[in-house]
Amino acid sequence: MRYFDLAIILGYLAAITLFGARFRHGQKNLKDYFLGGRTAPWWAISLSIVSAETSTLTIIGTPALAYGGNLGFLQIVLGYLLARIVISFLFLPHYFRGEMFTAYELMRRRFGENVRKITASIFLVTRALAEGVRVFAISLVISIVLGTGEIASIVVIVLLTLFYTFEGGMTAVIWTDVVQMTLYVFGAIASFVVILGKIPGGWEHVSTVAESFHKFTIFDFRFAPNMEFFSRTYSFWAGVAGGCFLTTATHGTDQLMVQRLLSARDERQSRMALMASWVVILVQFVLFLMIGVLLYVYYGDFHLLPPAQRDRIYPEFVWHNMPPGIAGLIIAAILAAAMANLSAALNSLASTTVVDFYRARAKSVSDAAALKLARFATIGWGLLLLAIAIAARRSKSVLEVGLTIGSIPMGALLGVFLLGVLTKKPRETAAITGVIAGLGIVIAIHFTTPIAWTWYVLIGTCTTFGVGLAASLFQGPAPLPPLETTLQANSKE
């Protein structure tokens, strides 16, 4: 048992929990709790976006992808850039017209209350399932370090994160994200340097071995016949199209990300935060993938057997091979990413629950009562995520499981949002028809075909948009506004 490293980890957990909880002061209403009072600077929001985008799935799953493959995952990151451009000019202007707390208020303005509840419900179910898988991923790390069972590890991380999110709200989420992101980037850099130092021959040897096994390959432009083209997860076409549509959906319609964008002081700062986050996310993915390449060379040189569960390779190496102190910092960094993502999920789930369901029906609720309900909703979602994480312990690749779960409904969400901002004719019934069709077709594809998850959002988006637009051709005439209805009635008399 490495007591010095354990002391660092436990000290970090205590410090970040207390740091987040101190932001409770000054919270008077939902704007303070869910949007941080719109006082955070753009650069802090940008780092918070990256922190939410970089979960434990990324930190332990990305090196495992490079270990077993190459750098092809970076093709998806190119799609991330295109998505940010689309969101900046298509969605952000709508989000900053009036005061909005959630993405789904835009759907109420355009289509009505029913579409708002459907899109909000899809978010709640999807985010809860995906976040449960992420919480399980962190239990892998804690069980390696403490030797505890996975369930006990899950309980520890959820309760600590729940405490400071309950107390500090969105302000705590943003500023703990900044601290935690700084820590896990430092941890990744330290890992890279230490692993490279353990490989005889240094970078020259790594480069020679990696090139001979095509580990530095990024782009795959190959076309393949029939279904094989769509079954390859990391091709250029799947990466750019899939990454663009997935990120447009997650960052443009998913409350987890939209809530951060809404927390900016104005539309310009929100756009700056979003675009700057891509540069950071690109550097991060390159760093984590290169760690996977180093581990491949290291294990090959010393003829070591990787763990049966490939996602354990990076945290196990860190804990058993890093110098005292460094190992503790890196494990604390992995915990940092987990807590950052979990806190954001809890706050966004609570905001959608309170704003899109409770406050939509009880409009006269006081600020104090709404704030109290928001905190109780945070607790409720924390307990539910705890249960989902325990049930997710049979996952094979936590990164791909999490991305797959997130991709299945995202096309339906993005499709109906695009239907709302790009068209005027479709109304509520057409929008609902499109959502049902988009969700149904992707679920059917997932269970009956070998098509890779990178295509799910594109297929779901096109289906939802196309069916919604087609359904609008069969809808009746639009109902007249109250004033016109009255004038028409008077003219008949």
* Per-position b or e across 329-364, b if 16+ CB within 10 A of its CB: bbbbbbbbbbbbbbbbbbbbbbbbbbbbbebbeeee
What are the pLDDT digits (tens) for 248-296?
Answer: 988 888 888 888 898 888 999 999 999 999 999 999 899 999 999 999 9
Q: 445: part of which helix (H) or strand (E)? A: helix 428-448
HSE at residue 218, side-chain half, CA atoms within 13 A, is: 10
Q: Residue 98 carries which DSSP code?
A: S
- In whole angstroms, what is the distance from residue 435 CA to residue 107 CA? 12
263 versus 486: which is more confidently predicted?
263
Q: How many CB atoms lie within 10 A of CB 30?
A: 21
Whether residue 146 is predicted with pLDDT greater than 70 in this model: the reply is no
CA 402 to chain CA centroid, nearest Å? 9
At residue 404, the pLDDT reads: 74
396 versus 30: which is more confidently predicted?
30
The two tokens of residue 168 are: 């500090």
- In whole angstroms, what is the distance from residue 140 CA to residue 147 CA? 10
- In whole angstroms, what is the distance from residue 481 CA to residue 102 CA? 27
HSE at residue 10, side-chain half, CA atoms within 13 A, is: 8
What pLDDT band is residue 488 in, cutting at 50, 70 and 90? very low
The two tokens of residue 266 are: 């104005």
At residue 437, the pLDDT reads: 95
The two tokens of residue 310 are: 């490939």
3-state secondary structure of 405: helix
What pLDDT band is residue 43 in, cutting at 50, 70 and 90? very high
Whether residue 466 is predicted with pLDDT greater than 90 in this model: the reply is yes
The two tokens of residue 273 are: 């935060």
pLDDT (average), residues 368-372: 79
Q: Residue 479 carries which DSSP code?
A: P
Residue 162 near residue 419 (C-beta atoms within 8 A): no
Q: How many CB atoms lie within 10 A of CB 435?
A: 26
At residue 451, the pLDDT reads: 85
Residue 132 near residue 394 (C-beta atoms within 8 A): no
- In whole angstroms, what is the distance from residue 43 CA to residue 181 CA? 13
- In whole angstroms, what is the distance from residue 293 CA to residue 63 CA? 7
Q: Provide, rounded to the nearest whole percent, the portion of the chain with pLDDT above 90.
A: 18
* Lowest-pLDDT range of 127-136, 209-218, 304-313, 394-403: 394-403
Q: Residue 102 carries which DSSP code?
A: S
* Alpha-helical runs (H) found in 22-112: 30-35, 42-53, 56-68, 74-90, 92-95, 105-110
**Entry pTM:** 0.78
* Main-chain phi, psi angles of 374, to 5 degrees: -60, -40
* Lowest-pLDDT range of 362-366, 470-474, 482-486: 482-486
Mean residue pLDDT of the chain comes to 82
> What does the chain come to in residues?
493
- In whole angstroms, what is the distance from residue 268 CA to residue 379 CA? 34
- In whole angstroms, what is the distance from residue 39 CA to residue 321 CA? 43
345 versus 340: which is more confidently predicted?
345
In CATH terms, is domain 3-411 a member of 2.60.120.260?
no
The DSSP annotation for 297-357 comes to HHHHHTTPPPPSSGGGHHHHHHHHHSPTTHHHHHHHHHHHHHHHHHHHHHHHHHHHHIIII
At residue 294, the pLDDT reads: 93
Each domain of the chain, given as residue ranges in start order, spans 3-411
The two tokens of residue 16 are: 């970040």
The two tokens of residue 313 are: 């390779």
Q: Residue 393 carries which DSSP code?
A: T
* Per-position b or e across 267-303, b if 16+ CB within 10 A of its CB: bebbbbbbbbbbebbeebbbbbbbbbbbbbbbeeeee
pLDDT (average), residues 337-351: 81
* Lowest-pLDDT range of 94-108, 331-345, 424-438: 331-345
Whether residue 163 is predicted with pLDDT greater than 90 in this model: the reply is no
Distances (CA, A) of 339 to 27, 55, 106, 380: 22, 9, 29, 17
